Structure 1
Amino acid sequence: MREYLLTILVAALVTYLLTPAVRRFAVWFGAQAAPRDRDVHTIPTPRLGGLAMFGGLVGALIVAAGLPAFRKVLAAGDVNVGRAMLLSGGLIVLVGIADDRWGVDALTKFAGQVAAAGIFIMQGIQLYQLPMPNGEPLALPPAYGVPLTVFVVVATINAVNFIDGLDGLAAGVVGIAASALFSYAYLLSYTNGLTKLTPATLTAAILVGICAGFLPHNFNPARIFMGDTGSMLIGLLLSAATIMLTGQFDPAVIGSYAQFPFWMPILLVPAVALVPFLDMLLAVWRRTNQGRSPFAPDKQHLHHRLLELGHSHRRAVLIMYFWVGLIASSLVGLSVTNSVPLVSSVTLVVAVLGVVVMIAAPRVRRRTPRHAAGPAAPAQRPHQPV
């Protein structure tokens, strides 16, 4: 665990320290987000925060390569996770920089995402098997494993990209998802006496670190946006951890009493990414139903609807954190314990309380000033400069 904590700390620290320099570079480079009708920010804000995140990734990999325990993990067997993350991450960052500065059409970004998935496959990060109801894994030949791997990578990248609409939202949601993946892999390895040093767990740890390091600069009011440079990068890393975790645990080793953990890799990421995936599917359905391109922007995402309900910017983000965290923690709990009724009951109670608070909070906020404040002060004319 100490090696993982060191890796997370380095990734977070490097990302945090690099972000102010990247912000100044983005202003000089002209990569700033001008306010649009569908945006919630009102002043031009620098993009390219993903550059600092990529720096955190590089720093964490350098430190991990210097640790004897992780040196073997980075190039374990047929999977070279270090080279895969650097090459595919570097490619996706270059595409993101071009989009954040000059704007890139959707087809070009899609081609870059497919190319990044291709690098994963060439470095050994690929779906080789899927769990089946009988507990036996289904081997996937390249004719099925390759396109399925590409689909997982592209879908995850675009799901993260779709939710990147509020300050701190994407970094927080992906950080929670990565924490769930890390907890699942580490706890399951620990409880079953398996090796805890794996490429998937290392990837999830690095992702937790870079999200944590960037979030202080990106939380409302954001001083910098991650841009497509960052959203595509963290989506890429999230997909890598998912793919490597799928089929990692042998049900024969885990035991017949616990078939549910064997299904977790294929269920966990869609579950913890339920909010961005649902938002993406609703957006595609809504736009195509209106006769528009599925990539056409609008202001009807889930986070926009929370703002319309009366929640503040920060509260809307925290609500999204809550739901993602609840789903993630519930699934991780189900994977490491046999108390299914207890986990389900606690989840249900917390979910009901969350719905009540989400609906009632805006009403209480609107009523409080009228009761707490005294008589309304007479309106004052705005100050006129002399």
Structure 2
Amino acid sequence: MPLEEDGPSWKKRAEDIRDIYEFREVLGTGAFSEVVLAEEKKTQKLVAIKCIPKKALEGKETSIENEIAVLRKIKHANIVSLEDIYESRSHLYLIMQLVSGGELFDRIVEKGFYTEKDASQLIRQILDAVKYLHDMGIVHRDLKPENLLYYSLDEDSTIMISDFGLSKIEGSGSVMSTACGTPGYVAPEVLAQKPYSKAVDCWSIGVIAYILLCGYPPFYDENDAKLFEQILKAEYEFDSPYWDDISESAKDFIQHLMEKDSDKRYTCDLALQHPWIAGDTALDKNIHESVSEQMKKNFAKSKWKQAFNATAVVRHMRKLQLGTSQESPGRTTPTSPCHGPLLVPGDNNDSLTDTCQDCRSQKSP
């Protein structure tokens, strides 16, 4: 049963989280946490619970709690939400919204028809969400395709931003200068170890837009030093034949986001007003064959390195739904897998390997 609340009003005390939620199975592991599929006993609602051992947070309690308190306020149609927080004597439990549509690139590859206009609509949703974050003073700092998931399996499903493991609240202390993010998506000023701003997210959106239109990244080298050199110089091309059928408007849009000078780089506001997003310059021509072929070549192996595979979870959830429907014919259970490290500032940077024994002890049904 929940204990009497103390500390911040948003944090609830629980002697045993299993009094409130039935744990189903472990969905994935982060640097020092586990994400578990669970069902709220009272409502039968499926959620993802991120279980974080308190000993993994030692020395960081104040900053973690401050950032979680802000992140809990985030409510946007294109952002995976943190719905509740429980605390036991040994763990912090983050109760998160589940999404079931799978990863962005997987869905594009599965489509038979895909156009610039589709890419434009995807980027508009991402810009809307990131503008919302920026207006709240939050910089994501790790926008990349793996952190973009579809809400459902519906054809017209919205796209959702996940994983706030590296997010930062502007003005919450020091100037941002920590080199973090994912190689290939980080802005030049981050690699230059200069103080940076929310403009780093706009650069990353430009990189994502580039990939959505050709299927391969603008910067690539097996050698990280050479990769960083390309990014620092903002050296990228619109190679033939892959870009021959892409509009000049799309290229112009990307160039304004992937602008080396962060002061000249488009903000989310400006990007949302660009004709490729707000107008009708995005072409309707089917570019699926070329883009999907390149995506399969360039991104198939990247999933093996992930701590959490959203596609595997879709499979888990489909099995779970089948099992539930067989046991209780009249009951509807939403199919909603979760995904990797979420909503814990600094999670991706830590080398701590503690995992939640509470979660591990519960076997899959």
Query: Under TM normalisation by the shorter chain, which class is it?
Result: under 0.3
Bigger fraction of residues in strand: 2
**Higher RCO (Cα < 8 Å, 6 or more apart):** 2
| Structure richer in helix, relative to its length | 1
TM-score (norm 1): 0.27
Report the TM-score, using the length of structure 2 for normalisation: 0.28
